[in-house]
Amino acid sequence: MKTILKNAKRLLSSNEMEACEIVINGNRIDKLDTVIAEEADKIIDLKGKLILPGFIDVHIHLREPGGEHKETIISGTEAAARGGYTTVCAMPNTNPVPDSKESLTAILEKIRTDALVRVLPYAAITKGLKGEERTNIKELSEIGAFAFTDDGVGIQTADQMLRAMKDAAACGTAIVAHCEDNSIVYGGVVHDGEVSERLNLPGIPSITESVQIARDVLLAEKAGCHYHVCHVSTKESVRVIRDAKSAGINVTAEVTPHHLLMTEQDIRENDADYKMNPPLRSKEDQQALLEGLLDGTIDFIATDHAPHAADEKAQGFLKAPFGIVGLETAFPLLHTNLVQTGKITLQQLVAWMTNKPAEVFNLPYGTLEEGSIADITVVDLEKVSVIDKNSFYSKGKNTPFQDWKVKGIPVLTIAEGNIVYKEDIHG
């Protein structure tokens, strides 16, 4: 099957744009030029829209198996495709947990039959994510685990983390960490700051995150392991990671769109669509996160897409689960609020959502060039849209960005040469 994408633009490293047409042959980009005069099975006129590499998100929750009322592999990958993502990495907090050869194999098989885009599953560091008995990292890595994490819970003992890091280093795989010291969380549900006082809610101190990162970077240095920090949210965490990188420690980090675009001040009332872990932090933290991205301390952006059922989120901050959805809104939100306001360039945003995560995890994706896998996202930078959770393909509607006006909606997503989303595909 030969497809030609006509009349488009592509983004150059100089942040300028040039005319671009692409020939897709099977699952590869066969030719890329300003004008292509060839016959094809299918010709798509993109009418001046922007062609980008397919987005990569190394931190999402698909909930299946065990949480299908929140999300499934089908619905989650449909949401990913609509958001322009062609590669997503699924966290292991499912039931059963991918902590054995049998459970990981079952998830890989379900992905093979159901996924609309590429899904790379994590395996757990400890059995059942309980922080006690370690999994067989070597065996799970050989089967196809993307990397290892107990996401949602921090590894509480240094001994357990060091042993896991040594196992991962021996296999050439990464330890990926949700950093949270449970002994100083104090039952918090929002950031320990002005809003926790105003709404009379228990606060999560910043130190719960940064103190565990400080421990872990030293353990990673000792183990010789690639250590990746999930959803960095505090200025202290940025400082620790910056210091560790300058010391030559193999640490990388991600930040979410919601921590870049919102602060605790956006929480006006007891609305759990603003409840996530780590929580929305202070203005100073938000500024440190952006500075960390810009100076390379933080390597890229990941959504932490975490769908929940409406009745679960309706319980308010004290009882509702942590998490918001993000796959369908990430690019337009970031383009509108960071690129169009001049805080970052479009080229920087695209790199943080494509080639940067690919480089960190040695993935052969995230580029737009002849011979590369045909993972392609086309965005409309001009059309103004309004975020409407009721139109989400995800089962989760839990977003704090309802009714935000945005520019930069993905209109076509191609994964390995196949059209997996087209703006009007569902009528």
Q: Give yes or no for a contact between 17 and 10, defined as CB atoms under 8 angstroms apart.
A: yes
| CA terminus-to-terminus distance, the chain | 25
Give the integer Cα–Cα distance in Å for 323 and 174.
24
Quote the tokens at residue 366: 């995230």
From the list 299, 304, 375, 380, the catalytic residue is 304
Cα–Cα distance list, 241 to 112, 210, 267, 289 (Å): 36, 9, 28, 11
Buried b (16+ CB within 10 A) or exposed e, 363-398: bebbbbeeebbbbbbbbbbeeeeebebeebbbbbbb
Give the integer Cα–Cα distance in Å for 88 and 56.
6
304 is known as an active-site residue: yes
Q: Give yes or no for a contact between 79 and 325, defined as CB atoms under 8 angstroms apart.
A: yes
Q: Give yes or no for a contact between 210 and 278, defined as CB atoms under 8 angstroms apart.
A: no
Provide the annotated active-site residues: 304
